[in-house]
Amino acid sequence: MDFAAYIVFKGFVWFVNLLPLHASLGLGSLIGSVAFRLGGKRRRRVVESILRAFGGDKSEEEATAIAASMYRNLGMSLVEFARFSRLDEGYVERYVSFDGLERIDTALEKGKGVVLLAAHFGNWELLSAALALKGYRLSAVARPLDNRYINACTEGFRTAFGNEIIEKKNALRKMMELLRRNGILGILLDQRSSRKEGVMVRFFNIPAPTSKGLAAVVAKTGSEVLPVYIHRVEGPRHRVVCSPPIELVRSGDRQSDIRENTQRFTAAIEEFIRRHPDQWFWFHSRWERRKKA
């Protein structure tokens, strides 16, 4: 079954690369729309998560519209990822704008490495590729996909522009080594952590178990943490925003500092989700573990 899924995936990659860019994005949007209409319980969970996060600030209709837009964006992002063989500096120059990249240069001048704090937001795969093509090659922490055939294919896409993948399991040592070499670390910190491996912080004012690894690493390396996100402006056009460094707490109380800094990381992610709520991956069970069917 894994190999059959891989063949389907490769067929999809082949097909979308035959199409012109705007036609392929139209197909991606259509795929997202169909997935939304057929979403059933999964779609309902997405809408409920949006309503829960925003409390009384969003109506049912608004939450449903956000969810539908998220589905379409994911469909287009899937197509863009499948077309990575066509990605080059000219494409990035034409379709991706950047704001604040000089902050990465400023952080690297200090010689302690820099962490780009990101999330499953916008087309996060395009974010790392575009940064590499702009000269900011990074090492990203990621968990391998369960399908080993598709995983090998996607890793090829992710590393094609000079980036490196750090396997999530036992990643802390490699993260520290990279930062001590004044490297660039990319990390997605918007998924639910186990209570054993994380700390409880507030995400949309709701307690959420969150990985404490990043806070522990930067406490030792002294690296700056820059929130970075990408959002779709329209069609193939995207905007990458690199925000000012997060002010870290270094009181000497290790556990307290880890908790407070993890809260600040989470607040930074929440801030850009609030700006563009239809760009975040609302499928995540961010607050409680869902029982598997």
- In angstroms, rounded to a whole number, what is the distance separating the alpha carbons of residues 68 and 128? 25
Average pLDDT over residues 176-200: 92
pLDDT score, position 293: 43
Distance CA(46)–CA(38), nearest Å, equals 13
Give the model confidence (pLDDT) of 32-76 as tens digits. 999 999 999 999 999 999 999 998 899 999 999 999 999 999 999
Whether the pLDDT of residue 237 is over 80: the answer is yes
Q: Which amino acid is at 53?
A: A
How many angstroms separate the Cα of 210 from the Cα of each of 83, 137, 258?
Answer: 33, 26, 11
- pLDDT score of 209: 94
pTM of the model as a whole: 0.93
Q: What number of other Cβ atoms are within 10 A of residue 62's Cβ? A: 15
Could you tell me the two tokens for 117?
């704090």
Measured distance CA(282)–CA(293) in Å, rounded: 19
DSSP code for 238:
E
pLDDT averaged over every residue in the chain = 94
Q: Helix, strand, or coil here: 40? A: helix
- Pairing of β 206-211 and β 198-203: antiparallel
Domain chopping of the chain, boundaries: 2-279
pLDDT of 210 higher than 90: yes
Checking if the pLDDT of 168 tops 60, the result is yes
Q: What is the pLDDT of residues 246-281, one digit of tens each?
A: 999 998 899 999 999 999 999 999 999 999 999 999
Q: pLDDT > 90: what percent of the chain?
A: 86
The string of pLDDT tens digits covering residues 92-139 is: 999 999 999 999 999 999 999 999 999 999 999 999 999 999 999 999
